[in-house]
């Protein structure tokens, strides 16, 4: 998240109109407003496993709560619309899978060794090591499941144009490398030296 904010800030320093924007949970918030449901319900359904029984009961009750498939498809369409409009940094939400076939983008993966992430979460959230490990395990399990779902939409290999080790580079450095890559792909103009 801090990296994305840094990237947007650097891109807007180069853009007199400051059009660059970070998109992340706003998509779920917008979908909540569109459907009249809470973000919590939508997020729970988005990450839930498909269940014939649950879908059958949902049909009987006519609950009006869309299933995970419908939610993910709607978010995918929102992400694609944002990507087509441009000047967007999309964090998560299946952005790579949703936009993998678009030529005017750059998909970036940032990861770090597990021990580094554990130490960072312990510091940042003031958790003990066991709680940090549990949190990482939970997040990784959810991400892996969603990644499998989204990879069905875009099975491009490799899925990302760039990958960085967050333990080896500071956010500022990664942002500069992403911008240099955007310049090389002619997504943005090179700055005059």
**pLDDT per residue of the chain (193 residues) written in tens, 0 to 9:** 789 999 999 999 998 888 899 988 777 677 777 767 677 766 666 666 655 555 554 455 555 566 667 777 777 888 888 888 889 998 876 778 778 888 888 989 899 999 999 999 999 999 999 999 999 998 888 778 777 766 666 666 777 889 999 999 999 999 999 999 999 999 998 887 6
Q: Is 101 exposed, middle or buried (0-12, 13-18, 19+ CB in 10 A)?
A: exposed
What is residue 42's predicted lDDT score, i.e. its pLDDT? 66
Pairing of strands 21-23, 88-90: parallel
What is residue 148's predicted lDDT score, i.e. its pLDDT? 74
What is residue 162's predicted lDDT score, i.e. its pLDDT? 92
Q: How far apart, in Å, are the Cα atoms of 94 and each of 52, 80, 116, 133, 155? A: 24, 10, 24, 24, 12
Distance CA 185, CA 182 (A): 5
Q: What's the length of the chain? A: 193
Hey, what CATH topology would domain 2-184 get? Rossmann fold (3.40.50)
Classify the C-alpha dihedral 14-163-148-137 as positive or negative.
negative
pTM for the model: 0.76
């Amino acid at each position: 998240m801090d990296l994305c904010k840094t990237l947007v800030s650097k891109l807007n320093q180069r853009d007199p109109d400051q059009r660059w924007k970070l998109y992340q949970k706003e998509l779920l918030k917008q979908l909540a407003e569109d459907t009249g449901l809470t973000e919590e319900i939508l997020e729970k359904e988005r990450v839930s496993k498909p269940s014939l029984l649950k879908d059958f009961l949902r049909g009987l009750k006519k609950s009006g709560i869309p299933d995970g498939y419908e939610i993910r498809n709607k978010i995918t369409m929102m992400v694609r619309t944002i990507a087509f409009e441009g000047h967007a940094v999309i964090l998560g939400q299946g952005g790579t899978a949703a936009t993998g076939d678009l030529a005017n983008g750059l998909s970036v993966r940032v990861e770090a060794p597990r021990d580094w992430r554990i130490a960072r979460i312990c510091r940042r959230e003031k958790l003990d090591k066991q709680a940090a490990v549990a949190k990482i395990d939970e997040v990784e399990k959810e991400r892996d499941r969603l990644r499998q779902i989204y990879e069905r939409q875009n099975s491009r290999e490799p899925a990302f144009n760039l990958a960085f080790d967050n333990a080896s580079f500071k956010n500022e450095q990664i942002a500069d490398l992403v911008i240099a890559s955007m310049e090389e792909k002619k997504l943005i103009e090179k700055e005059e030296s």
